[in-house]
Amino acid sequence: MKGSAAIIAAAAVNPPFDRESPSNPVEARYYEKTGGNRVRCLLCPRECIIGNGERGHCKVRENRAGVLFSLVYAHPCALHLDPIEKKPFFHFLPGTQAVSLSTVGCNLNCKFCQNWQISQSRPEDIETRRTPPARIVDQAVSLRAPSVAFTYAEPVIFIEYMQDIAKLARERNIKSVVVSNGYIRKEPLLDLCGLVDAIKIDLKAFDESYYRDICNASLRPVLDTILAIRERRIWLELVYLVVPTLNDGAAGIRNMARWIAANLGPDVPIHFSRFYPQYRLENLPPTPVSTLDAAYETCREEGLRYVYVGNVPGHRAESTYCPNCSRKIVARSGYRIESLDIRNGACRFCAHPIPGIWQEA
């Protein structure tokens, strides 16, 4: 998708086209006035100081005469019906579909971004269809999708829209999941944790310099986010995109595995995803499968029980194995579930509890 991109949408969830400008604003929920018509955004760790008529780093929050507005509320630029495995969530309602959406904008600038056409755009760059929160939830109900997923670019930057959808979804027994970089301040994070059912964090690296040089951010706030999610018992999964020569070092992977085991416990799933040349890192090769295998083995050695390899179709580590009897209990092929042997939250073969949120037969 290049230039002025149209809505990315499955026909089943594509609402009627609406030429209303995406800049019709809704007041932001996390900011403070600093005097002289300036405001400080309190959504993410950047805490942007924004002058009158200016926007924050994410390009979607604008100061108008001392009031901060979201320019993307109810204006998704991407709307799909996806397998939940695509997010990826492997311990959350496997084999189900999620109504998935995003607006433009992001508070990071990752050089490898797979959705840079929308994440690095401004609201006026991309055509959208006005889609109020109730319409999203109606679509999930009509399609019998048990969840709504906030994904693709960065959901934190459209938090007002996300919160309102999640509230309505909960009222209609639809779950909400978030796919995020975790770059968010504590207050909005805790508010969000009260509304959603699962969060997947893209842990870009376990290295401060990588976050600074490759993502234009910092690691510590992301680790704090992960800890806060775990403390509040929201279902959590992690993804680590393994980029050759940049974050694939054995020592860094082992340090991360030890931190996860010590701070989150052995049962938080971690997905090692294969990098393919993209955006500003087209000079690098795809991740060797041997590198992913080494990361997998390192995490297993450090006691992590649910370690996965992604973007490698047919890999053994696409599937879930019982840590007690070693039987395959969720067989996956890409985004397809071939067999599911979990009953009442436990292995069907030995009755060992398997952490996650399961849809019982």
Whole-number Cα distances in Å, 335 to 82, 86, 99, 203, 320:
9, 6, 15, 21, 13
Give domain status of residue 164, yes or no. yes
Split at pLDDT 50, 70, 90, the class of 4 is very low
What pLDDT is recorded for position 359?
A: 81
pLDDT bracket for residue 7 (50, 70, 90): very low
| Contact (CB, 8 A) for 240 and 77 | no
Predicted confidence (pLDDT) at residue 86 exceeds the cutoff of 70: yes
- pLDDT tens, position by position, 166-188: 999 999 999 999 999 999 999 99
Q: Are 66 and 57 in contact (CB under 8 A)?
A: no
CA–CA separation, 187 vs 228, rounded Å? Answer: 11
Counting the structural domains of the chain, the total is 3
Query: Which 8-state DSSP code applies to residue 270?
Result: E
Q: Quick check: helix, strand or coil at residue 138?
A: helix
Rounded to whole angstroms, the Cα distance separating 93 from 54 reads 42
Whether residues 227 and 114 fall in one domain = yes
| Type and span of the H or E element at 41 | strand 38-41
- What is the pLDDT at residue 360? 57
Assigned domain for 200 exists? yes
Tell me what pLDDT residue 175 has: 98
Task: Assess whether pLDDT exceeds 70 at residue 11.
Answer: no
The Cα–Cα gap between 274 and 292 comes to 7
pLDDT digits (tens, 9 = 90+) for 329-339: 999 999 999 99
Instruction: Tell me which of 70, 93, 111 is where a domain ends.
Output: 70
Please tell me whether residues 45 and 85 are part of one structural domain. Answer: no
**42, 70, 98: which is the final residue of a domain?**
70
Judgement on whether residues 183 and 304 belong to the same structural domain of the protein: yes
- Indicate whether 168 belongs to any domain: yes
Q: In whole angstroms, how far apart are CA 213 and each of 109, 205, 209, 219?
A: 10, 11, 6, 11
CATH number of the CATH domain containing 243: 3.20.20.70
Reduced to 3 states, what is the DSSP secondary structure of residue 129?
Answer: coil
Q: What is the pLDDT of the chain when averaged over all its residues?
A: 93
**62, 89: one domain:** no
Least confident of 16-20, 22-26, 154-158, 322-326: 16-20
C-beta separation of 212 from 265 below 8 A: no
Tell me the Ramachandran region of residue 254: left when phi exceeds 0, alpha when psi lies from -120 to 50, beta otherwise. Answer: alpha
Calculate mean pLDDT across residues 114-135: 93
Q: Tell me, yes or no, whether 220 and 344 share the same domain.
A: no
d(CA 194, CA 197): 8
Position 232 pLDDT exceeds 60: yes
Which whole number is the average pLDDT over 181-210?
A: 98
Instruction: Give yes or no: residues 359 and 326 share one domain.
Output: yes
Crossing angle for the helix pair 289-301 and 250-263, to the nearest 10 degrees: 40
Q: Which residues contact 308 (CB under 8 A, 6 or more apart)?
A: 88, 90, 269, 270, 271, 272, 317, 318
Read off the tokens for 148.
């709504």
Structure-block tokens of residue 175: 């779950």
Give the model's pLDDT for residue 12.
Answer: 38
pLDDT at 25 (0 to 100): 86
How far apart CA 90 and CA 337 sit, in angstroms, is: 10
Domain range for 46: 20-70
Asked if pLDDT for residue 22 goes beyond 90, the answer is no
Domain co-membership, 119 together with 165 = yes
pLDDT in tens, 32-80: 999 999 999 999 999 999 999 999 999 999 999 999 999 999 999 999 9
Which residues 6+ apart lie within 8 Å of 269 measured at CB? 90, 91, 237, 238, 306, 307, 308
- On whether residue 148 sits in a domain, the answer given is yes
Q: Any idea which residue has 């301040």 for tokens? A: 185
